[in-house]
Amino acid sequence: MRASALSATVAMVAATLAGGAAPAAAAPAGTLPPIDLEAGTAALHHNTARVTYERVDGAANTFRIITVEAFSGRRDCIWVEWNDPDGWNNGWSRLHSEPPCDGGNLLERPDRIITAPKDHPIKVRLVAYHHDNAVDIVHKDVAKL
């Protein structure tokens, strides 16, 4: 009876390990869930973006930006940026080449490496610019990588 109980336990552990290994094998190594961003208000000023990225093996605080998708509101232009320690725009640098504007969209595959010192948490943000009463208004959404 002890041998059969031991065999059943071994079979259960093996099945659990096999079941747990399958989902990990399905995802590409290093790829992380995409970051979804939103900025602005509903209707004409609703802007969204998605950044797909992965960690770079063997490098501290380093990520490869795989894709940047952005959808602008009907009256906005938008940028997806990251908090670059050497950034030209108050510490922020753009992740794509041109902003989509006035209801436009963008899909770029920059395959770009971004890196920062290990004590500098890397973040991405969506910045939406629009004009109301001749005043430039900026709405931002920030997420940490």
Q: Is the dihedral of CA 118, 119, 121, 127 positive or negative?
A: negative
Give the integer Cα–Cα distance in Å for 101 and 79: 10
Q: What percent of the chain shows pLDDT beyond 70? A: 73
DSSP of 42-106: SGGG-EEEEEEEEEPTT-TTEEEEEEEEEE--TT-EEEEEE--TT-TBTTBEESSSS--BTT-EE
Q: What is the pLDDT of residue 5?
A: 42
54, 66 contact by CB (below 8 A): yes
Higher pLDDT, 9 or 134: 134
What mean pLDDT, rounded, does the chain reach? 77
Q: Is the pTM of this model over 0.85?
A: no
The amino acid at 93: S
Model confidence over 80-136: pLDDT tens digits?
Answer: 999 999 888 788 999 999 999 999 999 999 999 999 998 899 999 998 887 654 445
Instruction: Compute the distance between CA of residue 141 and CA of residue 40 in angstroms, rounded to an integer.
Output: 9
**Domains of the chain with CATH codes:** 35-144 (2.60.40)
